[in-house]
Amino acid sequence: MATFSCFHILFFVFIITSGVAVSATEFTLQNSCPYTIWPGILTGNGGNPIGEGTPLNTGDSVQLRAPPGWSGRFWARTGCTFDASGHGNCVTGDCGGVQKCTGTGAPPVTLAEFTVGDKDFYDVSLVDGYNVKLGIKPQGGFGDCKYAGCVADLNTNCPNELRVMDPHNNVAACKSACAAFNKEEYCCSGAHATPQTCSPTNYSVIFKKACPDAYSYAYDDETSTFTCAGANYLITFCPT
């Protein structure tokens, strides 16, 4: 009899834990920018796409569901024009001239990166540069579940030598020092390819100062990786 009830308890625990594991993670992408954006969405682990990159007007949002174990990234594409067949280009974040991204967005882009599982990992990364402000807000869930974001306008603070201009001669994005100068100390490559040999640089500190919660260079893990379990996520482009 004791064995029987023990079995029931174990069975009950199994249902609860597997119930958490099989529930999808919901992402809400919200455009608070004063212009239309085309979200870029890329699934990282060979899984099926979870979204299409349809335009989001100011104030609009879209909800996407990711299966357990999903990993991937979101970014904003700006200044896009596409023809009826879905071909065209974007001033920032372009993913190969197509509306439905199947590849990465051309840097510089601010990235929201996720790996979802029993415990989700998420971060905002400026390692590939910056184009728009971006915030990740867990909804529900348990654990640390902190807000992650880069809510400063880095285009205004962008050093001249890193600036990407739009056709109207406004700063559209801010390159990483790695992309601008292709040097090992900026790219954490070659002799600087380990956490011990790649340090913040005079450029990455500009990014870190503006956005303390975001990755400013490849090994900036300490202050830039966030975790939460069982949450859904609100990703806001241009949070105020």
Min dist. Cβ of residue 211 to ligand NAG (A): 16
Binding mask 1-40 for ligand NAG (x = CB under 6 A): ----------------------------------------
Min dist. Cβ of residue 176 to ligand NAG (A): 13
Min dist. Cβ of residue 208 to ligand NAG (A): 13
> 181-240: which residues touch ligand NAG (CB under 6 A)?
202-203
Min dist. Cβ of residue 123 to ligand NAG (A): 24
Cα–Cα dist 217/172, whole Å: 21
Binding mask 100-139 for ligand NAG (x = CB under 6 A): ----------------------------------------
Min dist. Cβ of residue 203 to ligand NAG (A): 6
* Size of interface with ligand NAG, in residues (CB under 6 A): 3
Cα–Cα dist 175/206, whole Å: 12
Cα–Cα dist 195/217, whole Å: 10
Shorter beta-carbon distance to ligand NAG: residue 156 or 202: 202
Cα–Cα dist 80/17, whole Å: 43
Shorter beta-carbon distance to ligand NAG: residue 45 or 202: 202
Shorter beta-carbon distance to ligand NAG: residue 44 or 159: 159
> 150-179: which residues touch ligand NAG (CB under 6 A)?
159
Min dist. Cβ of residue 229 to ligand NAG (A): 40
What per-residue string of b and e applies to 215-226 under the rule 16 or more CB within 10 Å gives b?
Answer: bbbbbbeeebeb
> What residues make contact with ligand NAG under the rule CB under 6 A?
159, 202-203
